[in-house]
Chains A and B, each alone.
Chain A
Amino acid sequence: MKNLTDWEIIESVKHGNQSDYSILVDRYKNKAFSLLKRMLKNEQDAEETLQDSFMKAYNSLNNFKGESKYSTWFYKIVYNTALTKISSKKRKTEREMTSVEDHFDLKSDYDFNISENKDFSEFVNELVNKLPERFSAVITLFYLDEMSCEEISKVMNVSVSNVKVMLHRSRNALKDLIVEKNLVEELI
């Protein structure tokens, strides 16, 4: 059962085997949770939103015609549900301000000390959590879900070039931090 493709599972659910939906849930829950946790910056909100997203996806399963990958379609639901959650928490202004044009400064937030923090990847992970929601969403979808910029643009409903701009800016912010702190030689 676990080797079934997403499409086969969806067909099975559509034919009345509702319990097969749990295979899809198990397949995507952790990755979607990672995305939501980074966007919402809160574990409890992330879990609630994840549950809402799976409920919405189940309810709209008949609308899924297989024109795109199930993962793209599902992440679009997850991303939009997260944005709704953010808006409902009266953070709409902040979200609108976090456009591609805006600036964020990780340097002021974090100071990495090589002797204290031995695990650099953990530090990078922490910094990703500190990025504005759209930027951390791009990073998570690109690196964790291994999506292409085209797929991310469909999920986030923005142009491919905007996705690239957000991806590059997130990387550059981290890179500038390393260069400024002279950590290149120490970390390589």
Chain B
Amino acid sequence: MNLISDEILNNYLDGELTPEKIQEVDAILKRSEPDMKRFKALKLVHDNLSSIKEDKVNEDFTFRLMKKLNRKFVLPKQQKYFIILVSSFMVLICLGIVGYVIATILSTPTPQTESVEVTETVQRITIGLITELQKLFSGNGLSIIGSIISFAMIITGYIFFERQKQMKTRLGS
């Protein structure tokens, strides 16, 4: 007949009993052979479980995983940054053009009349805007804007490909 329950034996093995209870278990183990046999078996199981070895996953697992991660998360993120970068350049160029045109119109002298109608002011600005845009997008102006846009595209493209190259080098290492 077992004098110690399996639960107490397990707690004894894990060192989770009070000092008094440990003394009590020690005494029973000394005089009860079946309990000692059970404890030895449990200890044997515990020792062998402590030495179970970890299984090894395929050697190229990390490489394949990083490649998959790159495809799923990193590349779309980089592409998003690229689009944001190009859009920012475009917005800056557009703002520059609009700013330049407005500055030109504002610097044109206006007739000094007592009361200028709002409609006249709007009409004057609109005509001025169209004229300036026409000037800007004809002849040399068009070439300059084209060059700026091309330059911006080359720079963003360079940044994008450099980042891609860096990422591939890191993955390779």
Contacts and interface: CB of A to CB of B under 8 A. Distances in A.
A25 B73 contact: no
A162 interface: no
B61 A29 contact: yes
Interface stretch (B22-30, B52-60, B122-130, B133-141): B52-60
A139 interface: yes
Nearest to A18: B74
Interface stretch (A31-39, A76-84, A96-104): A31-39
A55 B38 contact: no
B62 A25 contact: yes
B57 A125 contact: no
Contact of B170 (A19, A30, A33, A167): A19
A126 to B, nearest CB: 10
Interface stretch (A2-10, A66-74, A87-95, A174-182): A174-182
B108 interface: no
Contacts of A33: 54-57
Q: How large is the interface on A (under 10, 10 to 19, 20 to 34, 35 or more residues)?
A: 35 or more
A26 to B, nearest CB: 6
Interface residues of B, number: 37
| Residue of B46, B54, B64, B167 with most chain A CB atoms under a 10 A cut-off | B54
B54 A30 contact: yes
B170 to A, nearest CB: 4
A96 B61 CA distance: 32
7 contacts: A25-B65, A33-B55, A55-B68, A171-B49, A175-B6, A178-B45, A184-B40
Given A19-B171, A171-B45, 9 more contacts: A18-B69, A55-B68, A55-B69, A58-B73, A171-B42, A171-B46, A172-B6, A172-B42, A188-B40
Interface of A: 17-19, 21-22, 25-26, 29-31, 33-34, 37, 47, 50-51, 54-55, 58-59, 120-121, 124-125, 128, 139-140, 143-144, 164, 167-168, 171-172, 174-175, 178-179, 183-184, 187-188
